[in-house]
Structure 1
């Protein structure tokens, strides 16, 4: 694989979400080593099995984005110590109808940020369980669950803190090695 195609799934719908900012900063930090494309989840209807025979167009488009990617970068906030409902809905949509799981066999990394002291640790643990159920292999380490603080990301969208930037660079190195490893 030349330049890996990464579908970025951001688990927040808020325009200026901390996780959208983190996704952008990580993309900038990666430079040109990956081709990132956001697989948007904001237009997905709630998954309803009654629609499996006539799957919604937005759901089909999302599934195609996932299928076209070599790997996934899932960037999640933490809501009530778990995954946001919109992110879970996207995974349910992408894995349906039965026998047409667009996530099956994909490699992924999960990262996130929130203002809480533990970042997104609980959400990521729940998300890893869900991704396992839809046959996604998730990068085990390093776990990126950052506490969002003022100044973490500067006005130009860069990681401002040198230590965090080095940590995320190490993450990107591991992610690249993970998705390029022989099957």
Structure 2
């Protein structure tokens, strides 16, 4: 279900999972509850995904958390989304960089084994259902909001580092 707010500034997208879906829960589980701003909708419409994700529904239907091969499938999905013109042009929810930056940090965490399959439920469901772009991007924003990826500056981008900056960089959660 989707609806605009009273000022037509935000689009709210809601969805509920069925008992036979990829992740079986005993109760109805809201998998999408993220609002898109009008500017985000404009970017999504200007740079549609088209058939970019068409190869993924079959791969994503049979993911099992007990088998670590899901990591490469999810990383491939995120890489395809990162490489899209939409991700490069959509500002990150917190205004720091773009969506591609945030997804790249998440992709690194997948490769490091720091995340679980269940955390990718919203985008997986949206892609498996061949949802419209707005729903897919709402799921991506939901993922970013849930995982709160940090973009850490790496030392080679800094000319002169203070001791405090070095301490901050060495404590970066992505360096685990």
Same fold flag (TM > 0.5): no
Normalized per residue, which structure has more helix? 2
What TM-score do you get using the length of structure 1 for normalisation?
0.25
- The structure showing larger relative contact order (alpha-carbon pairs under 8 Å, at least 6 residues apart) is 1
Which structure carries more strand by proportion? 1
Q: Which has the larger radius of gyration?
A: 2
Q: What TM-score do you get using the length of structure 2 for normalisation?
A: 0.26
